Amino acid sequence: MTKAEPQTTTPVNSIVIAGGGAAGWLTAAIIAAEHNVKDNPALSVTLVESPDVRILGVGEGTWPTMRDTLRKIGIDERTFMLECDASFKQGTSFNRWHRNNAADTYYHPFDLPAGFFEADIAAWWQHHRPDAAFADLFSTQVMLCQQHRAPKQPHTPGYAAVANYGYHLDANKFADLLKRHCTENLGVRHIREHIDAIETDEADNITALVGKHQRIDGELFVDCTGFAARLIGQHYGIEQTPVEQSLCNNCALAVQAPYVSDEVPIASATLSTAQSCGWIWDIGLPHRKGVGYVHSAAHCDTDEAAKTLLAYLNADEKTASVREDAIREIRFTPGYRQKTWVNNCVAVGTSAGFFEPLEASALVMIELSASHIARQLPSTMTAMAATSRHFNQVFNAKWQRIIDFLKLHYVLSRREDSQYWRDMRDLSSASLQLQDWLTQWRERPASLNDFMYNDEIFPLASYQYILYGMQFTGTLRQPASRTDAQTEHFLKLNEQRKQQQRSGLPENRAFINALHNGEALTIR
C-alpha cells in the first residue's frame, strides 16, 4: 500500500515569488489578476527581488498567447507597445537552414494554414506542389512579412487581429511595465531584499524567506530566480536534466544594434539565419534591433563567434556599426528540471529550464506555467502534493515536446558544411518519439492524431510549416485526397486574402509611427 501523505488544512493565503524580471513579474501579474488579489483579503502575492542581482532579459519574442495574457491582466495594448518599445511579430523567417544558399528561406507564420481543418492540405502539397513554398501557398503572412506589413489596421481594437501576431519587445522595459502594473493596479507587494536564508518546517515545506532586514512568510513559494535557481536548485537540490546530446547550443553573443535611420522598415518576423556553428536571431524593434548568435562552444570559440556576428551586422545596410565591446556573452546549460514543483515550491522561467531561443519558447513557458498555477492553486496545503504531481506531469511533457520541435529544425537540414551541422543533423541524437514521427510521416502526412494533448505548445500547424518548409516529403500510401477540390478552393481564397491585405494593411513603420505620434494613418 502507498503510504498516506500527511494532511494539513493550513490555508494557502500567501504566495511569495522569489525573483523579478519578466518571469517574476509576469507570474505575479497572472496570479494576482486571476484571483483579484487587490480586492481579495484572503490571498496575498508578494514579490521579493534582490537589489544586488542584475536582471537578464528572457528574450525579445513572444507567441500570440501574450495578447490574451496582457488583456487578462489588464494592460492596454497601446500602452504596452509604447512603453515596451514593441513591434509586431507574425512568425519566423528561416534562412540558410536547409541547403545554405541565397534562395534557402522558408517561414513559420502564426496563422493556421488555409483549409487546415477542412482539407488534407499536406497530402495535396506533397502530391501536387512539393516544389512550392508551403507557407506561401496556405498563408497570407509570408507576403505580409516580406512587405513588412502590420497584422491589423489602425482602427482595429486592441489585441484584435486581421492576421495572427505576437510581439517583439524590449524585455527589460517589459519587466518594468509589469512591475508598475502589479504594484499600482493588481495589489502585489514588492520587497527589495536579498535572500540570505530559507526556513522550512518538519516536512521540508518552505515557511519563510529570510533577508537581512526582514523575513517573508508564505504557504506557496515560486522560484523565479533565473539560472541561480535559489529555491528549486540550491535549496531542494533538484538537478537539471541536460539535453546537450540533442541540442548542443550553449552560448549566445547578443548585441543591441541601432538602425541607420528612423525610416528603416521594421521586420514583421524574427529572422533566423543559420551559420556554420549555430544561428543568428535578428529582431526588429521600433528604435533598434536585437541581434544575437546562438552557438555551440564545443564547435567554435568566443572570438570566432564574435567575428561571425560582426560580419553579419556589417553586411546589413540597414544597421549602424556596432562596437565589439558592446557584445554581451550569455552562457547556459541547456536542460530542464523533471520536477519543477517540489513540496510547496514551484519553479517558473529559467530556474525551471532553458533551451536555445529558436522558437521563443521562454516567455510562453512562463505564461503557461503561471496560468496553470493560477488556475490550479490549492486552497489548503492538503492538495499541494497532488497539485504538484499534476503540474510536473504536464510540464515534463511540454519540455520534452519543445526539445522535439527544436530538434526537428536540425534533423531536416541537409547542411554538411561543418562538424556542427553533421552533429546536429544526427537523427540518433533525437528522441525516439521524434524518430518515430519522422518514420511515419514519410508514409503519411502529420496529423492531429499524432499529438496527445489539445494544448500542445507547438501544434500540428507548426510542425507542418517546418516539415514542408524544409521540403520534407515521402512516399504517401494514400492516393490524391478526396478533399483536393476543397484544398484548391482554399488556395484561391488565400490568394484573394493576400490581395485584400496587401491593399488594406499598413507597413509596420507607418503603423508604429502613428501609434507613437497619436496621428491618423493613411494606408499605402
Binding site per annotation, positions for 7-chloro-L-tryptophan: 89
- The position carrying cell 543568428 is 280
- Strands (E) across 296-343 are located at 328-331, 335-336, 341-342
- The answer to whether residues 338 and 241 touch, using CB atoms and an 8 Å cutoff, is yes
- The position carrying cell 484571483 is 35
Spatial strand order in the sheet of 215-217: 195-200, 206-211, 215-217
3-state secondary structure of 244: coil
Which H or E element spans position 80? Answer: helix 77-83
- Say which of 72, 89, 152, 173 is annotated catalytic: 89
The set of cell numbers assigned to 310 is: 560582426
Could you give the CA distance from residue 374 to residue 384 in angstroms, rounded to a whole number?
A: 13
- The answer to whether residues 369 and 223 touch, using CB atoms and an 8 Å cutoff, is no
Dihedral sign for Cα 64, 410, 293, 275, please: negative
Radius of gyration of the chain (CA): 24
Would you put residue 278 in left (φ > 0), alpha (ψ -120 to 50) or beta? Answer: left
- The position carrying cell 546537450 is 244
Q: Is 89 an annotated catalytic residue?
A: yes
- The answer to whether residues 363 and 349 touch, using CB atoms and an 8 Å cutoff, is no
Could you give the CA distance from residue 464 to residue 443 in angstroms, rounded to a whole number?
A: 15
Could you give the CA distance from residue 171 to residue 25 in angstroms, rounded to a whole number?
A: 12
Residue 326 burial (10 A CB sphere; 0-12, 13-18, 19+): exposed
Q: Which residues pair with 222 in a beta bridge?
A: 17, 346
Spatial strand order in the sheet of 353-354: 241-242, 335-336, 353-354
Return the number of other C-beta atoms located less than 10 Å from residue 50's C-beta. 18
Residues that constitute the known binding site for FAD:
20-23
Q: Comparing C-alpha atoms, which of 389, 53, 350, 367 is closest to residue 229? A: 350
Could you give the CA distance from residue 49 to residue 46 in angstroms, rounded to a whole number?
A: 10
Q: Comparing C-alpha atoms, which of 359, 442, 341 is closest to residue 401? A: 359
By annotation, the residues acting in catalysis are 89
